Amino acid sequence: MSRSENLELADECERVIKDWLADSTRVKNISRNTLAVGIVVLDHLRRKCPVSREDVMSKGGEIKGARSGLGDILEKYEIPRSFLKEVTTRQAGPAGQKLLENLGWGSMFASMRRKQRDRILLAMIRLLQDEVTNILLRENLKIDINRRAAPAAWIRMILQTASGRSTGIVEQHLVGAKLQRRFPSQTVANHPSHAGDVQTSRKGDFLISKLVYHVTANPSRALIEKCASNIVSGLLPLLVVPLEQVSKARVLAEEAAIDTDLTIVSIEDFLALNIIELATDDEVDRYSILADIIDIYNRRLAEVETDLSLRIELR
């Protein structure tokens, strides 16, 4: 290929990766899973080009190397292994395949010399590395608390600050922290947010006696079906969602004919009421209870999550 043709292809590849990132972004920020699977795909093409589906994808539709080998690949590009333990979202496999399809499974590089091809692929990886750096430099969630405000207002402020970054992570770990503070003698499970109970054999996010808690930022029919299954099993499901999702959850519960059996509560009210009750029981101010819960939240988050920028800092 001529120099001008190489430059044209480099520009085209840059457009492909930017368009792919835009198409793969499900919230305001690009996810760690998306970036990681993109790096794995480009690493495959650096090692062999073009590739077949069998070369890079498992029978289950996952990109090879996106789980057990991910840490080694990340370190190869000077990204800390702690950035992501493994690519886990169900969207990652299709996203990786989409990138491969956009690059013609590497066929667009077929007429290039290996050194030229490698230069372009490294430039594409650098674009993803830049996004990784942006994530790693994110500040914690800093919350300016008006101590005279009602606890529900505190929780709303936390959720609003986390909006676009949380994707349910903050909500789940806030509820877990509240339960740990409320039931200190109980073992409150702490699962990573990607290990959703709908896709696993778990009864819910938290189970205390016969009460099973389901926490989500966006209630779905699949989750309502899980609640229905728990009801049949003799458990008492409690669905905790953001205030603006309560109406949707109730409609879904009515459609499933479990609206009289399922307790649905907003996370704002759920946490606020407990803060007030715990402060009354312990004869302390409400803010100190919130601070306790946030301390527990930060510890639980650090135990199982990779995005530690979701730690909360009260000011």
* 315 residues of the chain, pLDDT tens digit each: 566 666 787 788 889 999 998 887 765 568 888 999 999 999 999 999 999 999 999 988 899 999 888 999 999 999 998 888 888 777 788 999 999 999 999 998 888 888 888 999 999 999 999 999 988 888 899 999 999 999 999 999 999 999 878 778 999 999 999 999 999 999 999 998 766 544 556 899 999 999 999 999 999 999 999 999 999 999 999 999 999 999 999 999 999 999 999 999 999 999 999 999 999 999 999 999 999 999 999 999 999 888 888 999 999
Q: Tell me, yes or no, whether 129 and 146 share the same domain.
A: no
Q: Tell me, yes or no, whether 225 and 287 share the same domain.
A: yes
Counted domains in the chain: 2
Rounded to whole angstroms, the Cα distance separating 302 from 32 reads 16
Q: Tell me, yes or no, whether 19 and 157 share the same domain.
A: no
103, 136, 169: which is the final residue of a domain? 136
* Residue with token string 């207002």: 153
Angle between the N-to-C axes of helices 221-232 and 246-255, in degrees from 0 to 180, rounded to the nearest 10: 60
Instruction: With beta carbons less than 8 A apart as the criterion, state whether 240 and 212 touch.
Output: no
Q: Quote the domain boundaries for residue 8.
A: 3-136
Rounded to whole angstroms, the Cα distance separating 161 from 108 reads 43
Q: Tell me, yes or no, whether 59 and 167 share the same domain.
A: no
Q: Tell me, yes or no, whether 49 and 17 share the same domain.
A: yes
